[in-house]
Structure formats: C-alpha cells, structure tokens
Amino acid sequence: MAKTKVCLIVKNKKKELLLQLRDEDPEIGKWVLFGGGVKDGETPESALAREIKEELNYDIKGAGFFAEYVDRGIKQMIYILAEPVELENLNLGEGAAMRFFAPAELQNLNIGFNFKQILNDYLQWQN
C-alpha cells in the first residue's frame, strides 16, 4: 500500500495562503504546505491534527477535505482549515520559516513537490 500524507491549506483573513520553507531534503529551500505522514493506526484526520500541532503548535477546530492527489507514489489527502488564522496565533515548530502569500505571489514562488498544482486547483475551486 502506498504511503499516505496529509496536508493543510491555511488562509488568513486576507485570503493569503500559509506555506512553510523546507529545511530538509527532499525539496530543501522550497515552499510547501504544512502536514506530514499518516502513522499506522492513525486516521488521516488525527494525523493532520498531530502534524499541525507539531509544526505550528495549533489545534485544528475544523478542517474540510478538499482533494486527493498522488505524487511520486505517495497518496496526498489535502484538507482546508475552516477558520482563518493569523501568524501571531502560530508558532513554527518545523521548517526554516513560514509566511502567508497572496495568490498572485504563488506563480513565481519556488514551490516544492506538486503543491503548485494543488494550490492552483484550490484557487480555481474558490472562484
């Protein structure tokens, strides 16, 4: 069975999207969504809650399923955080940096994995 990852699309009140600057391989130095792997015995939702707590010290109050992708043989389950969040409510626990980006900034950003496609799909779905 393919490994499963969960990722979360997080936005602020200005509808900017939160990304993490990776500080480890693969994709070091690229911007990615927050999330990680699903451990044995975990549901995707509990894995998402655990990963976001580890990476942002944030307790998810509600997240909706957006879409499923496959990248390099890994199943990715993408969720959208229900409520907007501001940087002052987050504490970076993993990665080199975090930042909110306006949708227009994403096109020229060095985004890792297949996340540029995922973000473009999300932005199209929003409109």
State the average pLDDT for the chain. Answer: 96
Query: What global pTM score does this model have?
Result: 0.96
On whether the CB atoms of residues 46 and 79 are closer than 8 A, the answer is no
Judge whether residue 1 has pLDDT over 50: no
CA 44, CA 38: separation in Å to the nearest integer?
Answer: 6
Q: How crowded is residue 108: how many other Cβ atoms within 10 Å of its Cβ?
A: 7
Give me the CATH number covering residue 43. 3.90.79.10
**Per-residue confidence (pLDDT) for residue 127, from 0 to 100:** 85
Note the pLDDT of residue 27.
Answer: 96
- Name the 3-class secondary structure at 89: helix
What's the number of domains the chain is made of? 1
pLDDT in tens, 37-87: 999 999 999 999 999 999 999 999 999 999 999 999 999 999 999 999 999
pLDDT for the residue 13: 97
How many C-beta atoms lie closer than 10 Å to residue 82's C-beta? 10
pLDDT (0 to 100) of residue 2? 57
Q: Which domain holds residue 96?
A: 4-126
Average pLDDT over residues 108-113: 97
| Partner residues linked to 19 by β-bridges | 99
